Chains A and B, each alone.
Chain A
């Protein structure tokens, strides 16, 4: 048995509280669950404690930011004596006195650690209403602090238990399916109660939730047979159940103005085996008001969590973009016989377009540009796979048509993915011989030094659709000064505000005008013209370009 001692507190609202020190460690802090919870931003979450050790009470600072004081002196560990004044740094308007005496007898029969004064047996006194109001203001202010979701839940339940003079309470919140789910239960001594053992009147809970109204049950006055039975079964005398409901703007529908609508996110339930449920109108109003505030607060916590989740996804996508861009070469080993520049601009974080330049052992070069149907992450994954397959197969010595044929089979086997790939693949020899397969892709533009253009299409099927598709290579001869532009449909299908497309003809004309430029300048000019054409409209598809210009040939 501890030496009797208590704290006499006059809080910032001028309300008197008396707390007996009956635990070996009596904790003080902002976090709900502390024996003395002080809701002020200056108070640390775990601020300090009063520890009973060897027949003596000590005030101990737990690394708080603003410190603890005894009779005006800052202390880290200090023996407490009768009538010492305790100061909490950051909460100076609260007066606390340590007294080595027992609680007056009237307190023993009341709710132990409750912050409220004992209440008269019937009705609510003015003093009680004042306390309830003070408690309400306190909790209301607490919602402004950055509390964790669990803190908010504890705070709400504790406040409700106190304001309703109940012995225990719990909070149920709706899950994604809109069903009520048990979240947390506490007793009046601020202990967590297990949800498994927490029996409550489901009828009352459902009624409060479904009808969005406060339900007050008093055993001796209840008319509803079901409710009376459950109250009797649970050996209760009174129940208060308040919906957690707030207003929110309903989503705008076409042409309609914004409407306020109710958003009910759960219920707050408290009950008592002692109290007859003689709640004053003020107490109920405060409780409802608390539920309203709590509902808003919980909703904003939820929105904050969603926002954090969104940010996490964004970071992940940003990483994916870096990886994808790293897979696409930005600097090429420029062969002696041509110069080349390439670039891909995904319209989302990542894209379904890809390109690559490989140099084979025999000195020939492979240029590829592929476009997976669809956009975003799923297309990007398939694009990376296709790029890897092509790379590996050229390195293993397969011919151009065989590489494309086997890639097609790989993609058809993965037909569950339901994505297709169009591909332009060119094989260029140092003597200027160009072999290409165009598998369902936009024809590449070949501009001769004469200024004439040829469109390189071979009528082959896009990849991933049919396993019977056959692919043949076409051959032509490139001469010094010839320009080859390979592109994805994001270039030609770039649309302006009037919904006009950039189009094949505009691109072809632009290539013709660019005869004197280097490969890099041609690529950059096309990109610039597309941006100018769309006038800053968001990009609708991945844009990918390869520009190549032949130099002196090597026979």
Chain B
């Protein structure tokens, strides 16, 4: 998985590209999130427009990242998850805690 961070104001946007599955992306994602939090970034937005598939390990990665951000006093939100990703987030009940946005501007202004 490719993860490209960029900054907009006080929000760090991570453009993800590729599947978020066991052995692919999950560990990189949690590592990058941990690093950004350590560097003092508190507002994180995961752009998932180019993540076609997530499995249960990928969900685990999102949970870990979200929990980590929360315990460090930060916020982690999702932008444009695919239909299947959204379905999985819904089934696993995570939509009740993870804020999901369909356009970047709204997402940025929500922090």
Please tell me if the beta carbons of B22 and A374 are within 8 angstroms of each other in the complex.
yes
Q: Is the interface of B mostly helix, strand, loop or mixed?
A: helix
In the bound assembly, the distance between CA atoms of A371 and B12 in angstroms comes to: 34
Closest to A373 in B: B56
Chain B residues with CB below 8 A from A374, complex form: 22, 56-57, 60
* B93 A442 Cβ-Cβ under 8 A: no
Judged by a CB distance under 8 angstroms, whether B7 is at the interface is no
State the interface size on chain B (CB cutoff 8 A).
15
Among A371, A373, A441, A461, point to the contact of B96 (Cβ < 8 A): A461
- Known A-B contacts A373-B59, A374-B56; A461 and B64 likewise in contact (beta carbons under 8 Å): no
- Determine if B92 is an interface residue (Cβ-Cβ < 8 Å): yes
Chain A contacts of B91 at CB under 8 A? Answer: 422, 440-443, 457
Q: Does A538 contact B (CB under 8 A)?
A: no
B63 CB–A CB distance under 8 Å: yes
Query: Does B105 make an interface contact (CB < 8 A)?
Result: no
- CB nearest to B90 among chain A residues: A459
Asked if A487 is an interface residue, CB under 8 A from chain B, the answer is no
A465 within 8 A of B: yes
CA of A441 to CA of B93, assembled, Å: 9
- Tell me, in angstroms, the Cα distance from A46 to B57 when the chains sit together: 58
From residue 33 to 85 of chain B, which have CB atoms closer than 8 A to chain A? 56-57, 59-60, 63-64, 67
Once the chains bind, are B96 and A465 in contact (CB under 8 Å)?
A: no
Q: Which residue of B lies closest to A540 (CB)?
A: B55
Most B CB within 10 A of own CB, among A442, A457, A465, A469: A465
Closest B residue to A374 using CB positions: B57
Q: Are B96 and A459 in contact (CB under 8 A)?
A: yes
CB of B94 within 8 A of chain A?
yes
Instruction: Mark contacts of A407-432 with chain B using CB atoms, 8 A cut-off: 1 yes-contact digit, 0 otherwise.
Output: 00000000000111010000000000
* Pair B97/A466 contact, Cβ less than 8 Å: yes
Tell me the complex Cα distance, A466–B97, Å.
Answer: 10
CB distance from B53 to the nearest CB of A (A): 10
Q: Please, which residue of chain B has its CB at the minimum distance from the CB of A422?
A: B92
The total number of A-B Cβ pairs within 8 Å is 49
**Chain B contacts of A457 at CB under 8 A?**
91
Chain A min CB distance to B52 (Å):
11
Q: Report B-chain residues with C-beta under 8 Å of the C-beta of A244.
A: none
Residues of A within 8 A of B67 (CB): 465-466
- Nearest-neighbour CB distance to chain B for A458, whole angstroms, equals 9
For A460, the chain B residues whose CB sits under 8 A away are: 93
**Are the C-beta atoms of B63 and A439 separated by less than 8 Å?**
no
Q: Is A204 an interface residue (CB 8 A)?
A: no
Q: Could you say which residues of chain A place their CB within 8 Å of the CB of B97?
A: 461, 466
Of the residues B22, B59, B90, B96, contact of A420 by C-beta under 8 Å: B59
Q: In the bound complex, what is the Cα–Cα distance between A442 and B93 (angstroms)?
A: 11
List chain B residues, Cβ under 8 A from A461: 92-94, 96-97
Rounded to whole Å, the gap between the CB of A488 and the closest CB of chain B is 10
Q: In whole angstroms, how far apart are the Cα atoms of A419 and B96 in the complex? A: 20
Which chain B residues border A466 with CB–CB below 8 Å? 63, 67, 97
On whether the beta carbons of A440 and B60 are closer than 8 Å, the reply is no
The yes or no answer to A519 lying at the interface (CB within 8 A) is no
Task: Say whether B57 contacts A462, CB under 8 Å.
Answer: no
Tell me which residues across on chain B come within 8 A of A459, comparing CB atoms. Answer: 90, 93, 96
Q: How far is the CB of A510 from chain B (nearest CB, A)?
A: 20
Closest to A379 in B: B56
Chain A residues within an 8 Å CB radius of B22? 374
15 more CB-based (< 8 A) A-B contacts, given A373-B60, A461-B97, A466-B67: A373-B56, A373-B57, A418-B60, A419-B60, A420-B63, A422-B56, A440-B92, A440-B93, A457-B91, A459-B90, A459-B93, A460-B93, A461-B94, A461-B96, A462-B92
17 contacts between A and B (CB under 8 A): A373-B56, A373-B60, A418-B60, A418-B64, A420-B56, A420-B63, A422-B56, A439-B93, A440-B94, A441-B91, A459-B93, A461-B97, A462-B92, A462-B94, A465-B67, A466-B97, A469-B93
Q: Enumerate the 6 nearest inter-chain pairs by beta-carbon distance, A residue then B residue, closest first.
A: A461-B93, A440-B92, A373-B56, A462-B92, A465-B63, A440-B93
